[in-house]
Chain A
Amino acid sequence: MTGRQIRFLTLVRREVNRFFKIKRQTLGAPLLETFLYISVFGAALGSRIRELEGFDYIVFIVPGLIMMAWATNAFANNSSSILQQKFQRSIDDQLSSPASPLELLVALSLGGFLRGMIVASLTFIAASLLVDLPVDQVLVLIPSLFLVGFFFASLGVLVGVRAEQFDDVSFAQTFVLQPLIFLGGVFYSATLLPEPFETLTLFNPVYYMISLVRYGFLGVSDANVGLSLGLLALATAVLFTLNLRLFMRGYKLRA
């Protein structure tokens, strides 16, 4: 293994180790949260709604919950990890190492990506035990989930780098991310909404992400799958490029 490979793996290992050290908070709590959603919305609400777009209500919402688990965990991990390291100045140990801005960025992004993947995978396994969850379009599902994970991991990096206090991170999570996810159609189909809310939903990027993941699982989608996938890939690439430019400039990391 070359020195560069050792360096990169160490940077990733540090991020993974961080969330495993506080696994009750970083893995346990999100799993419990997803179970509560399934219980409350699936069992309680599902008994009244019955079916949506030809599927049991609980089956209809699980793809959105899996996507939400990956997205929120990827975001939360990276934003808080970076801010915490900036706050302790322990990030200086990495910044003064020979690691390039690209290596640092990819490693930090992967931390959240992997945490999101673990929580989403556990959610998928648990949901599969509870309900009969189909996987209809696996070739759409896997790239969609990976792109969603990487998009939110990159967004977490951006917010973490820009943040100067913990309030900045929680503001982004509570007042921007959660509303976009909840109003993106995790728990309902946008076609059921009255106007102007149905049209407004079309301006929410998370709506297309949920539609993609739902299409991957159930084979039904409100949105154009090809266009959504292309736009998601483009948005992820743009966000990653923006982060890379910030890392190369040392924005809010190096004085």
Chain B
Amino acid sequence: MNGVSTPALEIRDLVKRYPTGTEALRGVGLRIEDGEFFGLLGPNGAGKSTLIHCTTGLAMPTSGSIEVFGHDAVDHYEEARLAVGLAPQELNLDWFLTLEESLDYHAGYFGMPKRERRERTAELLDAFSLSSKKDDRTRTLSGGMKRRLILARALMHRPRLLILDEPTAGVDVELRLELWQYVQRINAEGTTILLTTHYLEEAEQLCDRIAFIGDGQIVAEGTSTELAAAYGVTSLEDAYLELVGRKELSRAKIADVADVAS
């Protein structure tokens, strides 16, 4: 990684206030380097999805700036969005479309020519074991298959920054491992990845660096070892429990209590 290269994502003093008055992001600052595998962890409602939505144009920032590979995500959204692929938390597929159409239309929105769309669609349907279902409508898919299709869709236009918003929520073990292997491979090939997840072991195993977000602010950032050290604990899980104020749930402490009791 080159410290002076343009970062994949640079967020400065980002504020998002909803019309209801709720301040979901309160001056977020974040820098993700090109090629990094970055994890964003935090409890529900901490601002993870809002941050992602502001980056991808699904939410309008109130103030602050977001740059994707040096392109302002608001003023120069076309270049910024071309560089981003989003696999959202919701299974937001169009029920009317087949799997093949879902991928083809997405690539079309990103200006890919027909021949390239066709080849890339076949490649990704194959990579995610969906080829046999290509003519089925998306509503007929199982939850796991929908999750695969959403990831394939996010990859269609070969984004340089892939944002995965809880990609393994509710999927079975084998699919989770498959997804891990796939994203690790594309990260090794140069794709920057921003991952949000509630599975701490997932973040620990996959991510180069991790940020904790709480109450709309980045509260800590570093490798999992650095985060544990920052909170004076020995694991990422314990550091996270410190963040959410539930350190009594620490497995280490429960084990200590059990040892004393026995």
Partner of B60 from A2, A99, A255 at Cβ < 8 Å: A255
Partner of A11 from B50, B90, B92, B109 at Cβ < 8 Å: B109
Tell me, in angstroms, the Cα distance from A100 to B108 when the chains sit together.
14
Interface centre among A9, A10, A96 (most CB of B within 10 A): A96
User: Which chain B residues in 103-131 approach chain A with CB under 8 Å?
Assistant: 105-106, 108-113
- CB neighbours (8 Å) of B231 from chain A are none
Interface size counted on chain B using CB atoms at 8 A: 33
Stretch at the interface among B93-101, B167-175, B176-184, B205-213: B93-101
- CB neighbours (8 Å) of A9 from chain B are 108
Stretch at the interface among A15-23, A63-71, A140-148: A15-23
Interface centre among A18, A22, A92, A100 (most CB of B within 10 A): A92
User: Which chain B residues in 53-110 approach chain A with CB under 8 Å?
Assistant: 53, 56-60, 77-79, 81-82, 84, 86, 88, 90, 92-97, 101, 105-106, 108-110
B18 within 8 Å of A (CB atoms): yes
Partner of B109 from A21, A98, A254, A255 at Cβ < 8 Å: A98
- CB neighbours (8 Å) of A97 from chain B are 81, 106, 109-110
How many Å from the CB of B238 to the closest CB on chain A?
A: 34
Tell me, in angstroms, the Cα distance from A108 to B62 when the chains sit together.
27
User: Which chain A residues in 95-111 approach chain B with CB under 8 Å?
Assistant: 95-100
Question: In the complex, are the beta carbons of A88 and B94 less than 8 A apart?
Answer: yes
Question: In the complex, are the beta carbons of B57 and A95 less than 8 A apart?
Answer: yes
Return the CB mask of A1-44 against B: 1 if under 8 Å, else 0: 11110110111011001100110000000000000000000000
| Count of chain A to chain B residue pairs whose CB atoms are closer than 8 Å in the complex | 87
How many Å from the CB of B121 to the closest CB on chain A?
A: 13
Question: In the complex, are the beta carbons of B96 and A95 less than 8 A apart?
Answer: no
A85 within 8 Å of B (CB atoms): yes
Question: In the complex, are the beta carbons of B92 and A99 less than 8 A apart?
Answer: no
Question: In the complex, are the beta carbons of B94 and A90 less than 8 A apart?
Answer: yes
B48 within 8 Å of A (CB atoms): no
Tell me, in angstroms, the Cα distance from A188 to B137 when the chains sit together.
46
Question: In the complex, are the beta carbons of A255 and B86 less than 8 A apart?
Answer: no
Known A-B contacts A7-B109, A250-B60, A255-B58; the reply to A96 vs B94 at CB < 8 A is no
B153 within 8 Å of A (CB atoms): yes
A94 within 8 Å of B (CB atoms): yes
| Dominant secondary structure at the A interface | helix
Known A-B contacts A254-B60, A255-B53; the reply to A88 vs B92 at CB < 8 A is yes
Tell me, in angstroms, the Cα distance from A17 to B98 when the chains sit together.
11
Question: In the complex, are the beta carbons of A92 and B88 less than 8 A apart?
Answer: yes
Known A-B contacts A17-B101, A93-B153; the reply to A98 vs B82 at CB < 8 A is yes
Interface centre among B50, B59, B78, B108 (most CB of A within 10 A): B108
How many Å from the CB of B46 to the closest CB on chain A?
A: 16
Question: In the complex, are the beta carbons of B58 and A254 less than 8 A apart?
Answer: yes
Question: In the complex, are the beta carbons of A6 and B86 less than 8 A apart?
Answer: no
A89 within 8 Å of B (CB atoms): yes
Question: In the complex, are the beta carbons of B109 and A92 less than 8 A apart?
Answer: no
Tell me, in angstroms, the Cα distance from A123 to B109 when the chains sit together.
33
How many Å from the CB of B23 to the closest CB on chain A?
A: 13
Known A-B contacts A1-B113, A85-B94, A89-B90; the reply to A10 vs B56 at CB < 8 A is no
Question: In the complex, are the beta carbons of B93 and A88 less than 8 A apart?
Answer: yes
Tell me, in angstroms, the Cα distance from A1 to B111 when the chains sit together.
9
Question: In the complex, are the beta carbons of A95 and B58 less than 8 A apart?
Answer: yes
Closest chain B residue, CB of each to CB of A94: B109
Question: In the complex, are the beta carbons of A7 and B106 less than 8 A apart?
Answer: no
Interface set of B (CB-CB < 8 Å, partner A)? 18, 50, 53, 56-60, 77-79, 81-82, 84, 86, 88, 90, 92-97, 101, 105-106, 108-113, 153
Interface set of A (CB-CB < 8 Å, partner B)? 1-4, 6-7, 9-11, 13-14, 17-18, 21-22, 85, 88-90, 92-100, 249-250, 254-255
**Besides A6-B112, A93-B94, A93-B106, 11 other CB < 8 A contacts?**
A7-B111, A10-B109, A18-B96, A93-B105, A93-B153, A98-B82, A250-B60, A254-B53, A254-B59, A254-B60, A255-B58
- Nearest first, the 5 A-B pairs at minimum CB distance are A3-B111, A10-B108, A97-B109, A89-B92, A90-B94
Q: List 24 A-B contacts (CB under 8 A).
A: A6-B111, A10-B105, A10-B108, A11-B109, A13-B108, A14-B105, A88-B92, A88-B94, A88-B95, A89-B88, A89-B92, A90-B92, A90-B95, A92-B92, A93-B105, A96-B57, A96-B86, A97-B109, A98-B79, A250-B60, A254-B59, A255-B50, A255-B59, A255-B60
